[in-house]
Amino acid sequence: MRFLLALILFAAVLPVKAQTPEKEINQQVWKTFIKAYNAFDTELFMSVYSKDVVRVPRDQKQILNFADYKKSINREYHFNKSYNIKANLEIRFTERIHTANTAYESGLYKISLIENTGKKETIYSKFTVIMKKEGTAWKIVMDADSAEGNTLSEKDFQAAKPLE
């Protein structure tokens, strides 16, 4: 009986290894982001964003709030679904800096599209996001991207670190 009691006490005081911010972000933000984009699911996609997000599609010279960004995404997803377009989004990172509740991440994304005609297109873009922990959940509070004048390539994409 003493052995069992000692074992229980020992197990209770073992340090519990918390997930790192990067692993939490991968699970809570990036895997959800990719799943939502590939399914053209507006609600799931927007769930990774703070209601106070600042969205900056730099190529369009715009700054959007949550409501405007959601409308834009919903239009894009409705169009893609209507025309039976298929997408595969992949992301890679060039920089990831974290504290316990704030994160800065940059990298590249690649979107492979297949149109209903069978035509294939690949889009590359650089992104920068800032995330904050809202309660226990990571949320994107700033999101900017640019295709850099369509100068990005598979070589640039492969040079960045993959999502783990």
DSSP letters spanning 107-128: EEEEEEEE-TTS-EEEEEEEEE
Q: Where residue 19 falls among pLDDT bands split at 50, 70, 90?
A: confident
Q: What pLDDT, on a 0 to 100 scale, did the predictor assign at position 83?
A: 95
The pTM assigned to this predicted structure is 0.86
3-state secondary structure of 56: strand
Give me the percent of the chain exceeding a pLDDT of 90: 87
* Distance spanning both ends of the chain, measured CA to CA: 44
Residue 18 has a pLDDT of: 57
pLDDT for 104-145, tens place per residue?
A: 999 999 999 999 899 999 999 999 999 999 999 999 999 999
CATH architecture group of domain 22-162: Roll (3.10)
For residue 61, pLDDT over 50 is answered with yes
pLDDT band, residue 164 (cuts 50/70/90): confident
